[in-house]
Amino acid sequence: MSDGTRLLGAFARSLPSVHNPHVLPVRFAICCIPLVLSAGCRPESSATDASTITVFAAASTTDVMRDIGTRYEKETGIHLVFSFDSSSNLARQIRAGSPADIFLSADEAWMDELAAAGLLGANSRFDLLANDLVMVAPVSASRFEVEFTPQFDFAARLPQIRRIAVGDTDHVPAGRYAKQALESLGWWKALQPRLIPAKDVRAALRLVEMGEADAGIVYSTDARASDKVTVITRFPEDSHQPIRYPVALCSESDLARQFIDFLRTHEAAAAIFEQAGFHVLSSTKDGGG
């Protein structure tokens, strides 16, 4: 019995033992508090009710996961609740106890952190998708040329590109990849003062769409989903770590397990991912805890 339970029990026993119809309900309610709290924190319980699946997914998967969710609900009648944000914010929320049945991350590091904390379902983790990193500009802006070589002096050759939108380079996966690419090309030191950090990759994209940034570094799938930006060029694959989207269970919900299997094996899901520009992967990876 925890200290909190003993204290509540002692407080309840201290209430007057009189035949007052209002006293018993109070004493009963106080004694039940630890039971209710305990039931709500059981790790094996699903994030929501038995007919709902809660999915925490990287912001860059917003459109495609909504499309897949709509199709899945029509076919199964199972309700999907999505929470889209940067992978870093979602991982922190899960570590803090936010209810999630499934986590779809835009990089390996944040999934590794949850695995190390024992917050993933055993043998449920695998790499679902891959993506590319591109530089974009407002569709109305004058087009400019970029050479992805260390000899190309971006800052000197393109002085008109004064503001470059990126995901936060310390926490947001797209921002991390952007920093890796700029460092690999030798441009980081010169371009860092021009960077506008955003809370996630979609926020960086919106800055470019609104003309608040002269350019942006985002995923190719984000650029493809917007008619307000144009792709200048794609960063070389060897300029940054591979962009992988691992997915895993965060609860023991059978419905969640069925949905994660749907994402991995169903041709309809693969077709929706590919239409959005993602590369569908088939490799699996054990990261359970």
In this chain, the answer to whether the domains covering 52-130+244-280 and 133-234 adopt an identical fold is: yes
Distance CA 286, CA 188 (A): 35
- Angle value at C-alpha 176, between 174 and 178, nearest 5 degrees: 70
Q: Classify the C-alpha dihedral 197-200-203-209 as positive or negative.
A: positive
Burial of 34 (0-12, 13-18, 19+ CB in 10 A): middle
Q: Tell me: pLDDT of 12 over 90.
A: no
- Note the pLDDT of residue 49: 62
Q: 17-73 pLDDT, tens per residue?
A: 444 444 334 333 433 333 232 222 233 344 556 689 999 999 999 999 999 999 999
Distance CA 103, CA 91 (A): 8
How much is the mean pLDDT over the chain? 85
Portion of the chain with pLDDT greater than 70, in percent: 80
CATH code for the part of the protein at 133-234: 3.40.190.10
- Interhelix angle for 173-184 vs 108-116, to 10°? 130
Q: 218 has which bridge partners?
A: 134
Region 142-167: mean pLDDT is: 94
- Note the pLDDT of residue 150: 79
- Note the pLDDT of residue 149: 84
Distance CA 187, CA 150 (A): 8
Distance CA 191, CA 182 (A): 8
Q: Compute CA distances 68 → 127, 262, 271, whole Å.
A: 18, 10, 10
- Answer yes or no: pTM beyond 0.85: no
Q: 77-127 pLDDT, tens per residue?
A: 999 999 999 999 999 999 999 999 999 999 999 999 999 999 999 999 999
* Domain boundaries along the sequence of the chain: 3-40, 52-130+244-280, 133-234
Distance CA 229, CA 215 (A): 9
215 SS3 class: strand
- Angle value at C-alpha 119, between 117 and 122, nearest 5 degrees: 110
Which one-letter DSSP state was computed for residue 286? Answer: -
φ/ψ (deg, to 5) at 265:
-115, -20
Q: Which of 41, 29, 20 is nearest to 11 (CA)?
A: 29
Q: Where are the beta strands (DSSP E) in the chain?
A: 52-58, 79-85, 102-104, 126-131, 133-138, 164-167, 195-198, 215-219, 229-234, 243-249, 279-280
Q: Tell me: pLDDT of 276 over 50.
A: yes
- Domain 52-130+244-280: CATH superfamily, name plus number: Periplasmic binding protein-like II (3.40.190.10)
